[in-house]
C-alpha cells in the first residue's frame, strides 16, 4: 500500500509530447503549446553521453514524465531487481514529475521480448500485479501510474473487466492510472465494445495522465476490423472525440501525444500537441 511519504505525480494539466532526440533543438527553441515531455525510461539507462546530456538540459526547462516499457509488471515471474535498480537510479537523479508503466508483460525467463504482451484478468493475476506494483512503489518511494493496454484478443479465462481490474489495482496499491484513449478506442473496436462505456466505467478520479496516439487499420481472417497500436500516424478524429468525452467527464489532465514510429518533423507533432491543448482549453473554459 502507498506510504504517506511517497511522492505523487505533478505533471501540468497541459499538452505534452513523447520526446524524440531529433526534435531536441526545435523543442528547446519553439516548444509551442508543449508544456511537458515524456521519455522512455530504458533509453536513458546508459552511463552517459548525449542521451543523458540532452535529458539534463530538457529537465531544466520542462516537467518530465518517465514512462517505462521494460518492467514487465504483468509478468508471472518476479520483477527483475536489476532493472528496478536502474529505474531507481534514473528517477533518483532526474526526480521527474511522474513515473508510469504498463499493465503488460515483456520478460520471460532470461528473455526480453520488446513488446507489451497481454495478460488475463483473474483473481490470481490481480494479486500478482498488485504485489508487483507494491514492490515498485516501495522501491522507488513514489506513486506510479499504470497504463491500460491496447488489446487484439481476449482471454477466455478472464473474470474481470479491464476497467474494474485497473480500478481494483488502484484501490489495493494506491497507484494512479494512465488512461490511453487511443488504446481504449483500439481495444473497443477490436473486441466489439463501446469506447465511451469503457471511459464511463473507468476510475477517472485515479487518472494522472492521458495518452493519445495514432494506430494502423487492418482486418482479421474473418474480415473483422483489427486496429494496431503503431504510434506512427496522426491521431484519428474518433480518438480526439473520445478525448473530449474523457476530459468532459474527468476535467483537465496532462495529455500526451505519442508518436514513436515514422516520427515526423517537429511542426507536425507540435500541431498534434496544439489539438490536445485546444481540447484541454475547451474543458477549462
Partner 1 sequence: MTTVSQSLFRQALLAPDRAAPDGLRDSDGHPAGARFDVYRNNVVVSLVEALHAGFPVLAKLLGKENMDGMARMFVRVHPPSSSLMMFYGEALPDFIASLPQLSHLGYLPDIARLELALRHAYHAADASPVASESLASLSPEDLLATRLTFAPSVRLVRSPWPIYDIWRYNTRAGAPKPTPTAQDVLVTRAEFDPLPALLPPGGHAWVQALLQDHSIGKALDFAQQDAADFDMTGPLTLLLTGNAITSLKDKD
Among 166, 170, 126, 164, smallest CA distance to 144 is for 170
Distance between CA atoms of residues 38 and 140, nearest Å = 18
- Of the pair 116, 253, the CB lying nearest partner 1 is at 116
Q: Is 224 in the site for partner 1 (CB under 8 A)?
A: yes
Residue 67 sits in the site that holds partner 1 (CB under 8 A): no
Q: Count Cα atoms within 13 angstroms, Cβ side, for 5.
A: 4
Chosen residue from 26, 80, 244, 271 binding partner 1 by CB under 8 A: 80
Q: Identify the residue among 30, 57, 228, 268 touching partner 1 (CB under 8 A).
A: 228
Q: Tell how far CA 189 is from the center of its chain.
A: 19
Question: CA angle 78-133-127, nearest 5°?
Answer: 75
Instruction: Confirm or reject binding of residue 191 to partner 1 (CB under 8 A).
Output: yes
For position 75 contacting partner 1 by CB under 8 A, the verdict is: yes
Question: Restricting to residues 95-114, which ones interact with partner 1 according to CB under 8 A?
Answer: 105-114
DSSP code string of 192-234 = T--HHHHHHHS-GGGEEEEEEE--EEEE-TTS-EEEE----SP
- The 8-class DSSP code of residue 143 comes to -
Residue 197 is a binding residue for partner 1 (CB under 8 A): no
Interaction of residue 30 with partner 1, rule CB under 8 A? no
By beta-carbon proximity to partner 1, the closer residue of 262 and 265 is 262
Query: Which of 164, 194, 142 is closest to 4 using CA atoms?
Result: 142
Q: Of 22, 30, 57, 76, which one interacts with partner 1 (CB under 8 A)? A: 76
Q: Does 193 bind partner 1 (CB under 8 A)?
A: yes
Segment 34 to 53, residues that bind partner 1, using CB under 8 A: 42-43, 45-53
* Calpha distance 238→258 (Å, rounded): 16
Instruction: Select from 11-19, 89-97, 118-126, 263-271 the region that touches partner 1 (CB under 8 A).
Output: 118-126
- Rounded CA-CA distance 18/209 in Å is 13
Position among 24, 152, 168, 201 found at the interface with partner 1 (CB under 8 A)? 152
Residue 237 found at the interface with partner 1 (CB under 8 A)? no
Q: What gap in Å lies between CA 213 and CA 89, rounded to an integer?
A: 29
Work out whether 262 is an interface residue with partner 1 (CB under 8 A).
Answer: no
Spatial separation of the C-alpha atoms in residues 192 and 139, rounded to whole Å: 39
What residues line the site for partner 1 (CB under 8 A)? 42-43, 45-53, 69-72, 75-77, 80, 83, 86, 105-115, 117-120, 152-157, 190-193, 218, 220-222, 224, 226, 228
Amino acid at each position: 500500500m502507498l506510504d504517506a511519504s511517497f511522492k505523487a505525480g505533478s505533471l501540468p494539466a497541459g499538452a505534452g509530447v513523447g520526446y524524440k532526440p531529433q526534435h531536441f533543438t526545435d523543442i528547446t527553441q519553439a516548444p509551442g503549446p508543449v508544456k511537458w515531455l515524456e521519455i522512455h525510461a530504458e533509453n536513458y539507462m546508459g552511463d552517459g553521453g548525449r542521451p543523458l546530456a540532452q535529458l539534463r538540459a530538457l529537465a531544466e526547462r520542462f516537467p518530465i514524465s518517465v514512462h517505462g516499457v521494460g518492467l514487465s509488471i504483468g509478468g508471472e515471474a518476479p520483477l527483475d531487481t536489476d532493472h528496478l535498480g536502474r529505474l531507481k537510479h534514473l528517477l533518483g537523479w532526474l526526480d521527474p514529475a511522474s513515473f508510469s508503466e504498463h499493465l503488460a508483460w515483456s520478460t520471460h525467463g532470461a528473455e526480453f521480448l520488446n513488446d507489451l504482451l497481454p495478460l488475463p484478468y483473474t483473481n490470481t493475476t490481480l494479486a500478482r500485479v498488485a504485489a508487483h506494483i507494491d514492490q515498485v512503489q516501495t522501491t522507488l518511494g513514489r506513486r506510479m501510474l499504470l497504463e491500460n493496454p491496447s488489446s487484439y484478443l481476449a482471454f477466455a479465462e478472464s473474470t474481470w473487466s479491464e476497467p474494474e481490474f485497473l480500478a481494483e489495482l488502484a484501490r489495493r496499491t494506491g497507484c494512479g492510472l494512465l488512461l490511453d484513449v487511443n488504446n481504449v478506442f483500439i481495444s473497443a473496436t477490436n473486441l466489439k465494445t463501446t469506447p465511451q462505456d469503457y471511459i464511463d466505467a473507468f476510475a477517472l478520479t485515479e487518472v494522472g495522465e492521458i495518452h493519445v496516439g495514432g494506430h494502423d487499420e487492418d482486418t482479421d481472417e474473418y474480415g473483422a476490423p483489427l486496429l494496431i497500436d503503431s504510434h506512427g500516424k496522426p491521431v484519428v478524429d474518433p480518438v480526439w472525440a473520445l478525448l473530449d468525452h474523457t476530459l468532459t467527464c474527468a476535467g483537465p489532465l496532462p495529455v500526451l501525444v505519442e508518436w514513436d514510429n515514422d516520427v515526423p518533423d517537429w511542426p507536425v507533432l507540435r500541431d498534434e500537441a496544439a489539438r490536445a491543448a485546444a481540447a484541454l482549453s475547451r474543458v477549462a473554459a
